[in-house]
Amino acid sequence: MQPVPLLIRDLSFRYPSGQLALNGVSVTIAAGESVAVIGPNGAGKSTLLLHLNGLLRGSGRIQVGDTELRRETLGAVRRQVGLVFQDPDDQLFLPTCLDDVAFGPLNEGATWEAAVQRSMQALAAVGMTEHANTPPHQLSIGQRKRVALATVLSMMPSLIAFDEPSAGLDPWARRQLIGIIRHLPQTRVVATHDLALALETCRRTILMDAGTIVADGPTAEILTDTDLLLSHRMEPPGYRPPAAS
């Protein structure tokens, strides 16, 4: 696995209802870079992530490494891009954690022995080896989120996209996940409302609103621009609104 750059040019997408979810989004992310994507509900963050491995297809250009996303390259792109959903139960559906993590490698044709080896390495990377034979439904949400990440890591992707990784986590589980995200070698795209997490895991932040990119720069600068964030229905970490008169 080697981290790869991501290129998006003039990406637009409209849902069947007619709602314009992405409107001419263009961005370049370097190999190994960790980038936060923030914005209010409905900004287009999750829709953007779903385009990275072809789960949604809009107009425009997406290139992962040297591979441009097309119908004929869909499989190759999906082998490079791992998507970690907000709800881990969307990714965990088999009797044990090991079964879930090994599912991808087995589906790609790996032997059981090779799939187990890759799966145990992935579980070790997220601190969950002791739960390899545990049914996922017996785990806490924080543990399930780490196993869901392991299902992605077992596929050895070059780019990982996270959709609201800290949603629903208590402070301890959130702190564990932040540590894992910070030390991953892959290119990372982290869509989040958790601005403190963005500050700890990503040097660069993209602010989206109404399907467009409205700001792109160093995370520390974006997250201290109170007027910018408030104008797009976001609050900087530690913000206290003026007292009512």
Q: What is the pLDDT confidence band of residue 236, given thresholds at 50, 70 and 90?
A: confident
Mean pLDDT of 174-182: 96
Q: What is the pLDDT confidence band of residue 245, given thresholds at 50, 70 and 90?
A: low
Mean pLDDT of 212-235: 96
Chain segment 22-35, per-residue pLDDT in tens: 999 999 999 999 99
| pLDDT for res 124 | 98
| pLDDT for res 82 | 97
Asked if pLDDT for residue 221 goes beyond 70, the answer is yes
Chain segment 36-73, per-residue pLDDT in tens: 999 999 999 999 999 999 999 999 999 999 999 999 99
Asked if pLDDT for residue 244 goes beyond 80, the answer is no
Residue 169 near residue 142, CB atoms below 8 Å:
yes
Mean pLDDT of 140-146: 97
Mean pLDDT of 215-242: 92
Q: What is the pLDDT confidence band of residue 238, given thresholds at 50, 70 and 90?
A: confident
pTM metric for this prediction: 0.94
